[in-house]
Structure 1
Amino acid sequence: MSLGYARCVMVSCFSQILVWRIGTSESRNNAARHFIWMATLTYFVGATAAQRLGDAHEYGEKAKCRPGRRCDTDIDQYNNRKARIFVSSSWNRSQMTYWNNRGLLIQYLHKIGNWLYDQNHLAR
């Protein structure tokens, strides 16, 4: 799979979302960042490429987990999956196109990510 130069640049820009501070709690920040990042990647490069990029981001993190405790990488992978599922809905995708055409896609996904977090649809 090759994304090509232009898509690699785009993916790199969207990946900067991971360093944003979005909400008031670290849990909310992590969940919303992963949701926004993965939804954006899925929208622009497709679910398969987005999953591969997400898996590469989490590569080796399992080794850092403490036995008997929930691993942060499992939470991240769960939220990444939720984002890819979100984009797979034709209605959600049409909403993303609407907001993207107005230059407001990231703001829209920020709102949705926070709502999903509040409704306990994203892992904490």
Structure 2
Amino acid sequence: MNIDKIIYVLLFIPFLWILIFDQQKLKKRTVFIKYLLISIGILMIGILYQNHSETENRFLVYIGSQMTLIFLILFKIIRIPYFMIFKREPEFNAYGGKWIDKIITLIITIGTVALPLLIDSMIFKKVTE
């Protein structure tokens, strides 16, 4: 196992922690801001690693470092209108729940995986050209 994969897994731990343990606590402003600051720190580590590393899989670390931040932003953007419409918190899980929760889960999952790639390929590469 090379260093890029180890760093990717280490940077991915806060994201998994949010999904498993603190997802319902994200409605509290202090918890959300705490995780937002952690995700910005993780993103800075990923950017620095991308710019200063010479390893072959450094792009994996860079993309993985964006996932926590993008998840938090998507979750917050979707949570606000969801709560206003349905008068309850969205449930982010693949099992059970109502059909709208499954749609929310699908949107957040696809967005968390696809947006880092789209941001890198469409925005940053166009700006640097």
TM-score (norm 1): 0.39
Q: Which has the larger radius of gyration?
A: 2
Larger RCO (CA under 8 A, 6+ residues apart): 1
TM-score by length of 2: 0.38
Which is richer in helix?
2
